């Protein structure tokens, strides 16, 4: 499968995904996604998994992106499982565009408990944070129930 990288001028995550950001150490990298440790972690183990194709946010997803979302979820789960004890609760998902500092599809992958302050913890509550499994289900449902 050939993936054509579509970058967006000035997007910091496009720079990371294309390997042009030398200050970010990738902990995972393939043709479709890459991942790095979040520089301002909200838990002891906090990774960001990026799409290498510039997709502004989860509202821009289509049927063609379902495999990408599933890959992001798999990569995030594997990264967390490498650094946590079995049975440690995890949270993987997406913040809404209005609360995300970068308009590029990226998934937060965290091992609980959260270590951030109470205001930041609010970002990971169910009414704000879109769980990756739920998002995949929503995209599938919206694509197949047209």
> Catalytic: which of 46, 104, 106, 108?
108
Burial pattern 97-113, b for ≥16 Cβ within 10 A else e, equals eeebebebbbbbbbbee
The residue behind tokens 């599938």 is 140
Which of 67, 69, 59, 51 lies closest to 105, judged by CA? Answer: 51
Cβ atoms of residues 30 and 76 within 8 Å:
no
Task: Give catalytic status of residue 106 as yes or no.
Answer: no
The C-alpha angle with vertex 67 and arms to 25 and 51, in degrees rounded to 5, equals 30
Cβ atoms of residues 6 and 17 within 8 Å:
no
Cβ atoms of residues 57 and 8 within 8 Å:
no
Q: Which residues are catalytic?
A: 108
């Amino acid at each position: 499968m050939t993936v054509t990288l579509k970058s967006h001028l000035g997007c910091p995550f496009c720079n990371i995904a294309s390997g042009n950001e030398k200050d970010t150490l990738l902990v995972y990298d393939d043709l479709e996604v890459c991942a790095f440790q979040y520089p301002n972690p909200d838990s002891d183990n906090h990774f960001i998994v990026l799409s290498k194709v510039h997709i502004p946010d989860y509202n821009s997803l289509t049927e063609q992106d379902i495999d990408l979302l599933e890959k992001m979820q798999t990569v995030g789960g594997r990264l967390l499982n490498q650094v946590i004890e079995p049975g440690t609760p995890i949270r993987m998902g997406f913040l809404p565009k209005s609360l995300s500092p970068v308009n590029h599809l990226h998934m937060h992958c965290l091992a609980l408990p959260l270590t951030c302050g109470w205001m930041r913890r609010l970002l990971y509550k169910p009414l704000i944070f879109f769980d990756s499994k739920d998002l995949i289900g929503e995209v599938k449902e919206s694509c197949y129930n047209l």
